[in-house]
Amino acid sequence: MIGLLAQAAPTTHGPIKLGPIMPELIIAGTAILLMLMDSLRATRDQRPLVLLSLAGLAAAAAYSISLWNWKGPATVLGGMVAADKFAVFFRLVLISVAALGVLLSSHYLDRAGEARGEYYPLLLFATAGMTLITAAADLILVFLALEILSLSLYLMTGFSYRRMASAEASMKYFLLGAFSSAFFLYGIALAYGATGTTSLSGIAGHLSGQIGPVALALGAAGLLATGFGFKVAAVPFHMWTPDAYQGAPTCVTAFMSAGTKVAAFAAFLRVFDVALSPLIWDWKPFIWVMAALTMVVGSVLAIAQTDVKRMLAYSSIAHAGFILVAVAAASQAGIRAAMFYLAAYAAMIIGGFGVVMLVSVRGERNTSLTSYAGLARRSPFLAVSLTVFLLSLAGIPGTAGFIAKVVVFSAAVQSGHWELVLIAVIASVVAAFFYIRVMVLMYMQDPPADDTVLRIERAPVGEVAVAIPAVLTVLFGILPGLLFGFLTHASVIRF
């Protein structure tokens, strides 16, 4: 496989092949159309915007599916964009996340009275950035896509600008994000200095043939890992996560927690498992430590939380740790396990935050744990959905989360990292505690006597957006073979 990668970066002759990048073009085009529509319309009715967004996402998804059997060159646009099945799989996951995000946002913005037209273009630009990063075969494009998605997310986090928490969350996210992007860029520069190229295949080829000191390349690896670590909220780069997740509007949190992690991990896998694979014995310990710290810190700190959004934020950190275990395994089984985990995780977290949004009813009310008391009686649908998501997050059999943990732990054991698996299972048990706590509240405590404040309203769009991930979570928990057939093909990364 290294031999394959050691070819020179392909030069383009003839017409530019835009096929592999069409989904991003479609999404960005839809976003631009939405901006035009919004500025030219008189009414504030969101529904045309929502429908157009969904139509654009559907078109992008259809095009991505057609890319599954791409027969052209493996990379296009001067070796920048990869056209492999890995990218197709992640594109489909991200487009689904975006579609659910659109549905959740239309409910939230409507009830909170914050429906402004620029939201949907921002969401679509973020999605375009996310899907682009999963297909990036060159570090410059990784950075570009990272910035596209980050800038959109900073703005979306601060969308409820009248709320101090939202503005503060956005500011924190932006400052720390800009800082980590600088680290990332410096890492790219060091990689260029070490290998003379920024294309992933070029770096791999250069490093595999290198006999001399690799200090520059190691520096690059460290800085790149830092940049990625920030984006996926790995410890010790996780400080922004609780505040950003709590302060952002819940619909943004749902989209952000699922989408950024999936996108950033996809790039993480490409860069580390392919480009830096010759240095694997040097960066593995670093990822090992990061994984162990992240799992433990995420699980332990979540216990002390009283706000459900913060608790889910810390649990997101813990799950990033579990996926890092798969990255540390650094094998094809590890890549496949990480992909399944990311798909399962995206479903459970977007559903989880969707339920939080519906329990809040309107805006950011009632996000403390005590608001969940007696939820089983107040709204059986929300209680059952949240139970499915919490069981999946805890890794209880019957849910996709269980299968995801089994395959990730399998990959780690196969690579010889059984100590990491031991830490992971203990972290899972610790994490189970706070998941159960919410379930105790929902089923075993009575709703507060005066529940006029907490009465759940009917929300058809929101409920659909919660029901879909719930069904998928149970489906992939019972029939994981449905996904694994695709994953075996999709987990072969060539560039």
Residue 146 structure tokens: 């990272």
* Interhelix angle 139-157/250-269, nearest 10 degrees: 170
Residue among 12, 66, 485, 492 that touches another protein (CB under 8 A): 485
Q: For residue 307, what is the DSSP state?
A: B
By the rule CB under 8 A, 428 interacts with another protein: yes
Residue that has been written with the tokens 């319309």 in this structure: 41
Nearer residue to another protein within complex by CB, 208 or 410: 410
Element counts in the chain: helices (H) and strands (E): 20, 2
By the rule CB under 8 A, 290 interacts with another protein: no
Omega into 236 within 30° of 0, i.e. cis? yes
**CA 98 to the chain's CA centroid:** 11
- Give DSSP secondary structure letters for 130-174: HHHHHTB-BHHHHHHHHHHHHHHHHHHHTSSTTSHHHHHHHHHHH
Residue 149 structure tokens: 């998605």
**CA 308 to the chain's CA centroid:** 19
Residues 314 and 259 sit within 8 Å (Cβ to Cβ): no
Which one, of 357, 343, 344, 428, lies nearest residue 386 by Cα? 357
**CA 101 to the chain's CA centroid:** 12
Nearer residue to another protein within complex by CB, 254 or 318: 318
By the rule CB under 8 A, 429 interacts with another protein: yes
Residue among 421, 466, 468, 490 that touches another protein (CB under 8 A): 421
By the rule CB under 8 A, 413 interacts with another protein: yes
Nearer residue to another protein within complex by CB, 145 or 302: 302
CA distance 339 to 343: 6
Nearer residue to another protein within complex by CB, 366 or 414: 414
By the rule CB under 8 A, 397 interacts with another protein: yes
Residue among 8, 426, 453, 492 that touches another protein (CB under 8 A): 426
Nearer residue to another protein within complex by CB, 54 or 432: 432
Angle (CA) 368 374 377, round 5°: 135
Which one, of 490, 302, 300, 329, lies nearest residue 413 by Cα? 329
By the rule CB under 8 A, 440 interacts with another protein: yes
Residue among 77, 167, 214, 406 that touches another protein (CB under 8 A): 406
Shortest CB 309 distance to another protein, Å: 23
CA distance 121 to 125: 6
By the rule CB under 8 A, 249 interacts with another protein: no
Residue among 189, 218, 293, 396 that touches another protein (CB under 8 A): 396
Interface stretch with another protein, choices 204-212, 250-258, 263-271, 427-435 (CB under 8 A): 427-435
Residue among 176, 410, 451, 471 that touches another protein (CB under 8 A): 410
Nearer residue to another protein within complex by CB, 35 or 442: 442
Shortest CB 343 distance to another protein, Å: 15
Alpha-carbon dihedral angle through residues 43, 47, 53, 54, given to the nearest 10 degrees: -170
By the rule CB under 8 A, 425 interacts with another protein: yes
Nearer residue to another protein within complex by CB, 85 or 172: 85
Stretch 356-385 residues interacting with another protein (CB under 8 A): 376
Site string for another protein, 461-480 (x = CB under 8 A): -------------------x
By the rule CB under 8 A, 484 interacts with another protein: yes
CA distance 328 to 17: 35
Instruction: Write out the residues near another protein by the rule CB under 8 A.
Output: 376, 391, 396-398, 402, 406-407, 409-410, 413-414, 418, 421-422, 425-426, 428-429, 432-433, 436, 440, 443-444, 480-481, 484-485, 487-488
